[in-house]
Amino acid sequence: MKIVQMSDIHVGSGLFRPELLSATIEETNSLEPDLVAVVGDLTTEGYRWEFEEAKGYLDRIECENVIVTMGNHDAKSVGYRHFEELFGMREGATTIPIPEGEAKVVALDSTKPDLDEGEIGREHYAWLDSEFRDWDRGPKILLVHHHILAVPGTGRDVNNLRDAGDVMAILRELRVDMVLSGHRHVPYVWSISGVRIIHSGTVSSMRVRGTMPPSYNVIDLDEDSVKITLHQPGKGKGGEEPLASFSRKPVTTSEFYPDFSRFVLYDRLPFLR
């Protein structure tokens, strides 16, 4: 399975670089991925014209499975209404046929209007469980804009997922293979308790941190391994470098014994009864 992961397009910012986004889309089309994950921050202020411009670019992606999630910038100015009109549901679960079977992909909206920080929210936990727990036909992949774990080289951190602890415990319990996130504009990979958390940088803006250039990730997954390569848009082979690799089977170096429910109990959603 091949995935192109990009985020933090930031149309509307004076630091948006359209030529980087165009190059990324051309390169994505030539890679012929099974999934293109666009994990949030399409816009800068959540304005309709920014969403329309972003959609104009993303519509040029030829892949059949393009999944777009909201970022905190897209939730400014009540931008989620434009997102829904132009991109459809803000969250959902889908299955994607891949050479190794079928991947389950869940996209979540971690944003709250006008806040920089994110939250999955207790109301989502039981749904996440129902999508992932019994899935045995291929990789389990979660798409969410905000970072669950701190990203090095990004300064001090005050806007990660507010319920990161609960979410991490759920991902461990459900043996989720990969989480694809953006938000910090720095590409980085963690592997904790068998869960791989893969952050992409900003693909098409100069809202960069330190020495890290604009980039996107290409993830190659087969039966034995997962390899992640960093690509700088428009730079060809010279702009590629290995970011991370790990075995396909999750490696956990520790056992944790207490029952999951001692830490996280799902909401019973009384309004659904």
- Site residues for Fe ion per CB under 5 A: 8, 41, 71-72, 183
* End-to-end Cα separation, the chain, in angstroms: 39
Cβ nearer to Fe ion, comparing 65 with 202: 202
Cβ nearer to Fe ion, comparing 8 with 166: 8
Shortest reach from residue 266's CB to Fe ion, in Å: 27
Helix (H, G, I), strand (E, B) or coil at 246: strand
Q: Is 258 exposed, middle or buried (0-12, 13-18, 19+ CB in 10 A)?
A: exposed
- Whole-angstrom distance, CA of residue 217 vs CA of residue 230: 5
- Whole-angstrom distance, CA of residue 107 vs CA of residue 209: 26
Cβ nearer to Fe ion, comparing 76 with 140: 76
Shortest reach from residue 183's CB to Fe ion, in Å: 4
Shortest reach from residue 177's CB to Fe ion, in Å: 23
Cβ nearer to Fe ion, comparing 1 with 77: 77
Could you tell me which residues are beta bridge partners of residue 241?
230
H/E stretch holding 83 reads: helix 80-87
Shortest reach from residue 52's CB to Fe ion, in Å: 19
Shortest reach from residue 120's CB to Fe ion, in Å: 15
Distances (CA, A) of 56 to 10, 18, 65, 216: 14, 11, 17, 19
Cβ nearer to Fe ion, comparing 110 with 132: 110
